[in-house]
A and B are shown apart, each in its own frame.
Chain A
Amino acid sequence: MATIDPSPPQVAAAHFEELARDYMRARRRLTTTLGVVFGLWLAGFVVLSAILRDVAARPIAGPLSTGWLYALSAFPLVIGLTWTFSRVSATSLDCSRSRAIAAANDQGGTR
């Protein structure tokens, strides 16, 4: 038997809107933070490989040079950023997304 939704459509719409905006804001915050970390690493790589080539060639860890070490740091960095994004998405963002979708589905008046 269908139940009557107690909230009028305008309230439900406002609720959906609020949840959707919360989700998008949280997602933007996470993306920006990770993007800034990535951008800084990238800027360092560009500087070393194109501008400060002498610094890049300077051995600092046995036979490995600054440039090689910095380049190799891409592997842990990329995996770390990906893991963080996936983890936060799965544990927090997906829930907030589901709430917004549920609010959208509930907005019909009857369920």
Chain B
Amino acid sequence: MSSNSAALWMFAGIIAVTLGITWWAGRRTSTASEFWAAGHAVTPTQNAMAITGDFLSASAFLGTTGLIFFYGFDGMLYLLVPLAAWIPIILLFAERLRNLGQFTLTDVLVNRFRKPVLRRLLAGSTLVITGVYLLAQLVAAGSLFQLLAGVPFSIAVVITAVVMLIYVTVGGMLATTWVQMIKAALLVTVLTVLTLLTIVGMRGGVGTWLSSALETTGGKNPLIPGNLLSNPWNSVSVGLALLFGVAGLPHVMMRLFTVRDSGAARRSASRAIAIIAIAEVLIVVCGLAARNLLGDQETALARSGGNLVAPKLGEALAGGPGTLSGALVLALVAAVAFATIVAVVAGLLINAASAVVRDLWRPASADGDAAGAADANGTNEIRRARTVTILISVVMAGLTILVGPGMNAALLVTLAFGIAASANFPTLLLTLFWRRFTVQGAISGMCTGLISSAVLLFLGPTLWPGHGSSPLPLTDPTIISMPLGFLACVAGSLLSNRDPADEFEALQLKALLGTEQTDRHSQELVTDPT
């Protein structure tokens, strides 16, 4: 059996199982709450698995393994900093977001500032972030299919888009949650298998293995920071994007709304951190194992942007090219990577659809109550969501085919993190923690963060369309755009008057105590804050 046919059978198996789940979930999804947030009935452990499935995307599994293989220490940065980003999330955001939001991040903002314009702005920034992130996942999916099935890149992208479309339109958040849980379990299993094969294949002990993995190759010393991010400012900038971008990633934060209450949100996040940490340790081992085994294939692997290092490592560990075991493990790794991608794109797609349907398409109502009353169980909303999902899938598949397979998924995802850190993070943080923050501050901060990060990206070497060197030497401009976002938030707030209806103390109480009963009492604290 060739690796191509084995991989295709495994792909088919994963898709069949997940489509079965989607059909099951579809029968249980009839209201808007069930469609967008699985009825808030996901348990903390299930949600932790789903968060892992949502968070560890193709960029983490395929992209980062490739980056550690090529660049050593700098690759670690792309793995560790997003993990560390969960500390601010669990300390500052997880419980507060669940207490203040229903389905999307915009609910949190609107809870404090009852202005429809904020809903639309945050929805716009959500669409941009989700779009870039989706692009990364679809590029990785196309590369994988090309390798394994010999299918052209464009066909592979279309197949992935159709699968994600079915998950979301039929099963909503419940199907997405289960697909992400299955993917997380498969991913941890396959990483464990690769690690065990690495340990079995070690010759001369761990010290020798490590020494060999960390040897200088191709003029690059993997111990030294700067192989990928030679400019130190660039290192800091990428670090900022990865550290603060996660809290601004709407599709990841949306998962916190699927559980019953804030305690469950906290437990979800803490369990997810443990699972993600374990998976990332295994990814580090795989990256180092690849340095040991695939050093002679560096040039060939570079053509895929490093996205194929993990599948090729599986093949090498299980006997090498031309062996049945090698073909089977290559197929297994590729099939799990494919599952990884479809799980993440399903989460991204439902998030993008929620931004359009709940925040852009709804009638002009500050908190959506009027619209909600007219469509009590959300039948029309679900219908709109399905239409929007189809449109987004078509647009994203077209864009991915235009971009082509040469981009590294981890680098593309970093761009999305940068936009999230510049546009969403400052607004979200100041909404929750700064009494003097105003609507004008939120609007100016979001617009400045979004526009500056997009413009600076095009001025940097990654997306510079002109000839010669780019005007900005930073591949990631977050070190400039995030402070600009904060500055605009602060300036906008200080130059405007605080809305007398802004009940910051009440919001703080609701964010932490989280019960409707506290609403009345928090009013008393507002009038008498001593």
Residues on A close to B: CB < 8 A?
13, 16-17, 20, 23-24, 27, 31, 34-35, 38, 41-42, 45-46, 48-51, 53, 56-57, 59, 62-65, 67-68, 71-72, 74-75, 78-79, 81-83, 85-86, 89, 94, 97, 100-101, 104-105, 107
Contacts and interface: CB of A to CB of B under 8 A. Distances in A.
A7 to B, nearest CB: 14
Given A57-B225, A67-B73, A74-B83, 14 more contacts: A13-B524, A16-B521, A20-B518, A38-B88, A49-B73, A53-B232, A57-B221, A57-B223, A82-B87, A82-B274, A97-B512, A97-B513, A100-B518, A101-B515
Interface string B102-132: 0000000000000000000000000000000
Given A63-B210, A101-B513, A53 B226 contact: yes
Nearest to A73: B80
Contacts of B243: 42
A50 B277 contact: no
B286 to A, nearest CB: 15
Interface string B495-514: 00000000000001100110
Given A20-B509, A85-B90, A75 B235 contact: no
Closest 6 CB pairs of A and B: A50-B232, A65-B223, A57-B224, A63-B211, A86-B270, A50-B235
15 contacts: A13-B524, A20-B525, A31-B92, A38-B84, A46-B235, A50-B232, A57-B221, A63-B214, A67-B225, A75-B83, A83-B270, A86-B270, A100-B513, A104-B515, A105-B517
A27 B92 CA distance: 10
Say whether chain B's binding surface is mostly helix, strand, loop, or mixed: helix
B76 A68 contact: yes
B270 A49 contact: no
Most buried by A among B91, B92, B524: B91
B225 A104 contact: no
A20 B519 CA distance: 13
B76 A71 contact: yes
Contacts of B92: 31
Contacts of B274: 79, 82
B449 interface: no
B256 to A, nearest CB: 15
A27 to B, nearest CB: 7
Nearest to A72: B284
Contacts of B86: 78, 82
